[in-house]
Amino acid sequence: MTNQTRVVVTGMGALCALGNTMSEIWTAATAGQSGIGPITRFDATDYGTTFAGEIKGFDPASEIGKKEARRLDRYSQLAIVATRQALAQSGLDVSANPERVAVFIGTGVGGVETIESGIENLVTGGPRRVSPFFIPMMLANMASGNVAIDIGAKGPNFAPVSACAAGAHAIGEGVMMIRNGMADAVIAGGAEAPVTRIGVAGFSSMGALSTRNDAPQQASRPFDASRDGFVLAEGAASLVLESLEHALAHGATILGEIVGYGLTDDANHMVQPAPGGEGAARAMTMAMADAGVSPDQIGYINAHGTSTPLNEKLETAAVKRAFGEAAYSVPLSSTKSMTGHLLGAAGAIEGAFTLMALQTGVLPPTINQTDPDPECDLDYIPNVARQADISIAMSNSMGFGGHNVSLIFRKAE
C-alpha cells in the first residue's frame, strides 16, 4: 500500500431498480432477481428500446420535502437519500468536525432530466419560461454539492465526471484523500437519473441499448453469446469512508476496508475499450500493487459486464492479462444483469455489492447466462448466487473516454 493509513467503510446506502435500501437490493440480487421493466417515466412507445431499470416507489417529496425536491434534479435527490441511509448506518456525526468531512459524488451526465425540460420550455415558451433553478439543477457537480449542504460537510468536495467509471473514481479519490491526511471521512459514491427521452434516444441511436422489448428481464445478459446491448438504469449509492482510527474513535461498525485503487486510460477510442483490454488490465494490476496482493489472493471480481458485444470480450481478455492463470480460478459476476447499467453510479453500487459479498460470503450471480460466449470462458457465476468465504475482492469499472478503475476491498477483521 502507498500509505499506512487504513481506510474503512462504515456505512452504505443505495437505491436502484432492485430496491430502495441496500438491504432490499442485496436480498433481490442474491436471489437472482431482475429489476428491469417497461419505462414508466415517459411514453416510450415509439422508441427502439421501451424498457429500463427504474426505481420503484420513490417519492422525493416525502423523502426530502416538497419544496426542496422541486429545486433538485432527480439525480441529486437520489444522492441525498442514499447518503442519509449511509450516514444512519455509519453513525458518523458530521457536525462534530465538518471541515474534516469530504464529499465526492460522481456522475456520468448529471441533471439530464432538467436539461431536457429546460430546453423544451425554451423552445415552446421562449427564454422567460426557463426556470431560475435550471443551471443549479443541471450541473454535474450539484449532487456532490447538494449532499454537502444537506449533511453540513465543509471539507473537500468535487464530482468525478468520467462516464461509467465516475462512482468508482469517487471512491478511489476518497481513499486517497484520507490517506493523504486531507480528510477524516469521505462520503463517496455516484448518482444518475438518465431514464429520460433524450437519454434513451441518445444511447439507442448509438446502438448501445438492448432491444429485447418482449423480454425486458432477460435483456441484460453479460457474457452471454446473445447479448445485444446494455439496459439503461437509474440509481445512486453512497459509502461512508473513514480512517480506521477515526471510525474506531466513534464506535463505528467496520463493514470492510478499501486497500487498493488503480486508474488508467485507454487513449484508444471514444467508446471502445483498448484492444486486448490493455488499459483495464493495467488498472487491475495497479490496484493489486497498491493493495500489496497477488492475483491468487482475489476471491471475487465484480465485473463491469455491461451486456454489450464488445465489452465482455475485452473485459475477459483484460482479466486474463492481469491475472494470468489465476483468471480461470477467480469467480466474477456482473450485477448489471439485475440492476441494469447505472452509468456514473454503477461503480459506487458495485463497490457496495463487493463489500456485501465479503461480509456475507455470498457471491451474486450473473443472471440470463443461457448461451455462453466461447470468447468469454471464465467463471461468471451463472444464474445462481454462490456461497464462498472470501477475504479480498475486486470491483472494476470502465467508461466512455477510455477510463478504467479497479478497487480492491478486504473483509473486516
* Catalytically annotated residues: 164, 304, 341
Number of C-beta neighbours around residue 70 at 10 A: 13
Phi–psi pair at 384, nearest 5 degrees? -130, 135
Q: What does the alpha-carbon distance between residue 170 and residue 380 come to, in Å, rounded to a whole number?
A: 26
Mark 151-185 as b/e (b = at least 16 C-beta within 10 Å): bebebbbebbbbbbbbbbbbbbbbbebbbeeebbb
C-alpha dihedral sign at 353, 354, 357, 358: negative
Give the rounded distance of the alpha carbon of 249 from its chain centre: 29
Q: Which residue has the cell 456482473?
A: 334
Listed in sequence order, the residues at least 6 apart from 295 whose beta carbon sits closer than 8 Å to its beta carbon are: 288, 322, 323, 324, 326, 327, 330
Q: Which three cell numbers stand for residue 233?
A: 438504469
**Nearest one of 123, 107, 95, 102 to 199, comparing CA atoms:** 107
First to last CA, the chain: 18
Exposed/middle/buried for residue 208 (C-beta within 10 Å: 0-12, 13-18, 19+): middle
